[in-house]
Amino acid sequence: MMVTRRRVLAAALLTGLTMLTAAPAVTAAPVTRPNVLLVVLDDAGIGQTEVMRHTRAWLGRTGREFTHAVATTPSCCPSRSSILSGRYVHNTGVTQQDRIGVYDHDRTLQRELKRAGYATAAAGKLFNGWELAKKPPHIDHWALQHGGYVKAHFNVGGTDVYPAYSTTFTGRQVTGYIDRFERENDRRPWFIYAGFVAPHSPYTPEPKYADAPLSWRTNPAGRERDRADKPAYVRRFRFSAEEGARTAVAQMRTLLSVDDQLEAIRRRLAATGELDDTVVVLLSDNGKSLGEHGLPSKFVPYQGSIRVPLLLWWPGRVPAGRDTRLAPLIDVVPTVLELAGLAPGYRVDGRSLLTGARRDRVLLEYWHDAVNGSYPTWASTYAPGRYQYVEYQEGPRVVREYYDLHRDPWQLTNLLGDRGTAGDPDVGPLSATLARDRTCVGAGDCP
């Protein structure tokens, strides 16, 4: 369709989006609703998407970039359960990689959009442990994989396939869904989930990008020498900043192929007249430590693990620019639903990012998962620019960390990490707040 549809939302909603002022949730149905494209990367940390020049020109230059977005649980499957539901993991129940079986698919973005009349599709990586041949609830068409790049196993609507390169295949599935929905009913809005496995290990680039001349500069946490103040599990790792830089470069080479596919998707949206009628969200399920504090992976409460890219694009409706507010990924569902003129049909823990409201803190949480190795259970109250308080559960013993993020943004000095207690900050109130937050339910109760 060459003539762009004008999907005009209620005037109050448009005013609220333009000004980003606090406003009550809009429940009145718009005349027509936008398409929604949700792009999920795998293990992409802050700064890595800078190599995606087409994507930066599209979503970065004319979209809204949330510069302090965080994954509330930095682990693949648990985080995705939060992204698609707008709920903390202690409410989704998906506390480990293999617990997708307990997930309530009726409390998800795809269910809310499907109920509102959307056509739906999913391509790429959705959930760890999901049976690929099984149709995901509230998804009309699927082409799913678990991981890998070269001849990785996909199931496309019940048929197993092994394409040459998974990123290219995922992108082509997305453009195919756009074409299909255009043919079937171009007046019906659609939701497409695009889960690229990049830049997750094994970091296999397309041959044309195998030697792409990229570089990575470590941050001060990657040069931390004295880790005596850190918990014992951290001190056991010896992953260097040099190893981290090599990993980051390998990751970014895989993102160059994602960039190509997103550019192809943008062009297809433009060719079908759907570009200006499509909300695009790009994010990563979690970050990844790259030698910070000697760590090699995610699953930890530190900056490299929890901070992620988050871009929101809808021209004329979402103001472009950089947004420095704390933006947990549980906010994606209520934000998208408000853009579509919908109110959640269940209690979400997140809040719409379309208002000017600011959080004072967010809950971070992680449960020990044998699949991930020896990382312990922990929970944290995180207030960027102010403080971070962490509690680890090691049997009956609680190990604590406290960081002054105003003076120590890279978490180099745990103020509770020495043997003495003289001069320690009073964390009693923070511990009590954290205990309450770990059982919160709903945006009115949760941080």
- Tens of pLDDT, residues 69-126: 999 999 999 999 999 999 999 999 999 999 999 999 999 999 999 999 999 999 999 9
Beta bridge partners of 381: 363, 389
Predicted confidence band at 11 (pLDDT cuts at 50, 70, 90)? Answer: very low
For the beta carbon of residue 72, count every other beta carbon within 10 angstroms. Answer: 29
Q: How far apart are CA 410 and CA 234, in angstroms?
A: 15
Counting other chains too, the contacts that 366-370 makes at CB distance below 8 Å and 24 or more residues apart are: 366/73, 366/74, 366/75, 366/78, 366/299, 366/300, 366/301, 367/78, 367/89, 367/95, 367/96, 369/75, 369/95, 369/96, 369/97, 369/299
Q: What does the pLDDT read at residue 240?
A: 97
Q: What does the pLDDT read at residue 20?
A: 52
Q: Looking at residues 43-60, what average pLDDT do you find?
A: 97
Q: How far apart are CA 337 and CA 351, in angstroms?
A: 11
Is a pLDDT exceeding 80 seen at residue 6? no
Q: What does the pLDDT read at residue 1?
A: 43
Q: How far apart are CA 309 and CA 262, in angstroms?
A: 15
Q: Looking at residues 364-376, what average pLDDT do you find?
A: 94
pLDDT in tens, 152-201: 999 999 999 999 999 999 999 999 999 999 999 999 999 999 999 999 99
Contacts of 431 (CB under 8 A, 6+ apart): 389, 391, 400
Q: How far apart are CA 111 and CA 122, in angstroms?
A: 13
Q: Looking at residues 281-285, what average pLDDT do you find?
A: 99
Is a pLDDT exceeding 70 seen at residue 22? no
Q: Looking at residues 317-332, what average pLDDT do you find?
A: 97
Q: What does the pLDDT read at residue 373?
A: 86
Q: What does the pLDDT read at residue 28?
A: 36
Residue type, 60: G
What's the alpha-carbon Rg for the chain, to the nearest Å? 21
Q: What does the pLDDT read at residue 8?
A: 47
Write down all domains in the chain, each with its CATH number in brackets.
32-356 (3.40.720.10)
Predicted confidence band at 12 (pLDDT cuts at 50, 70, 90)? Answer: very low
Question: Could you tell me the two tokens for 252?
Answer: 């970014």
Contact 147/135 with Cβ under 8 angstroms? no
Helices 241-271 and 166-185, interaxial angle, to 10°? 20
Predicted confidence band at 412 (pLDDT cuts at 50, 70, 90)? Answer: very high
